[in-house]
Structure 1
């Protein structure tokens, strides 16, 4: 049996007719930039996030960058974030001409440890970017208390966590702004690139919409330096179809995650640590990520048995060559560095068949029984 990391084919077959109808309507209208599909998606995603405004942009990386700029981050500022994340988080800070400042993670959730944030704040700190990794929110209540105390903006990197919540608060609801990615592999994925910013702050909404069109308002008049970063109308048409199914997709992911957890805890709990779901938290399982012994050997064994797996992430941001000038060294963030050696993500998608899950579990058990 072959088990890939993700299979979008079955999902497409279930929505194919409606997707093609929406795309045909866009093609027939000949309106391809910032049309009605983008406006509808902006409104729906903002409402789901308990936010007043949504701003569709070109991709998730631009969403973070634009949100930072709209929040006033500029050269000379520092932005605190986690080193255990995809490069886009740190890259957006650097592209905003600010300095990334890293803080270690909570080993239970892989998310930024809020109790380490305050000691990293200086008079140059302008913002915090918590990353809601793998589909579970960071501790936003604790983070917002720190941010309010020090008058800092909070830009939630929710690329992997659309639809998640904690203690009744939606992702995006508490921060100054939140950013989503619609990369095809995401829980709400386009058939190409796309991203969005959501916010309850009218000034962030206004500035983000200016920045995404080269910094112009009115057209051809430029008071700020912006970018060409707009969510494509064709991608929005696809996403509007998928958005109606997002809750059921998320529930299917949770069901499959629960099955993985039940089986692995019963059979190999001495070698494998299954994901921690904090009480009151609604995890959407963009990834199902374990901590394991002999991680690299397990990954190779799974590959030898035609099972895909992924390591998110093998090199933390503070040890990336491009950030060498920041002066960090190995050992600075022990929990992050430990996670880079233990974390492995298993195949996960809403339609993942039970027999494929059983095969993955069987081979993990076989590996550790040796």
Structure 2
């Protein structure tokens, strides 16, 4: 067998191995997030009937989680231990209040995952894709709220948002490849279409304006604990996936032709990056809102690019600047009594301006 054939077989084997690992990680992480692992107690399950006339005997007991309590067996204890120690040390309302503790935790997680994924997007000049997926996820939230109002056991708007954003991500990739159109065409279609879908569903008849407003503009101070757990799961999924595929993502970001010559499946990793973006967008949605969520994907990365020429250095710097934006935004919003999500983005813009001025 020729050397070229052997190299090709090794490349195919490596791609299948990576794809298998990613699939296993995503499946396990999804089960972990949803609480569908065997460690979940049957007492926490909800009966779910197939509802097919004439065959009621086929009713099944499915692990549909209602309290998410055992989805992360160690996280609640870790959360309580960390914030208990922090509250005991500083003894101030800012770190002892339960809703602020949840808000800080959610913000820290978003300040990590968004700049990591955003680093690849910005360097590929795909900054607007986060905005398009956020608007599509908003459409998914509207559908989830609508379905949940009719079927309470399916009241998981963020999961509907996750499905909608993932479908939109794959749809944008398909349109861009199959139509040979400019990359901004599918982005523009999804950006306007997703938001239009959300408005159409909301206007259909079910009134949940307060809930919709929290997803549209963000409400970090009222993030439920189960949504914090969802963010933990998505963060673990994003970090593990990026750690496994960093070399491939880096190559397709800066030299796509070299990636093809190296027999890397460029389409697969393009799709993977867009799906990861969808996960981050959904995780950040209730913190920053659909309108502002793209800011954390782009602004800390843009600021980091002003202070370092290294991709890995910029990755670390963007995470640090993301944390500055989160903490600065939360504290300023508390003292100024203004919207937290908007303040986080304004602080992030402030760091970008400072970076530009100090390095010019």
Q: Name the TM tier (shorter chain).
A: under 0.3
When normalised by structure 1's length, the TM-score is 0.26
When normalised by structure 2's length, the TM-score is 0.27
| The structure with more strand, counted as a fraction of residues | 1
| The structure with more helix, counted as a fraction of residues | 2
Q: Which structure has the bigger radius of gyration?
A: 2
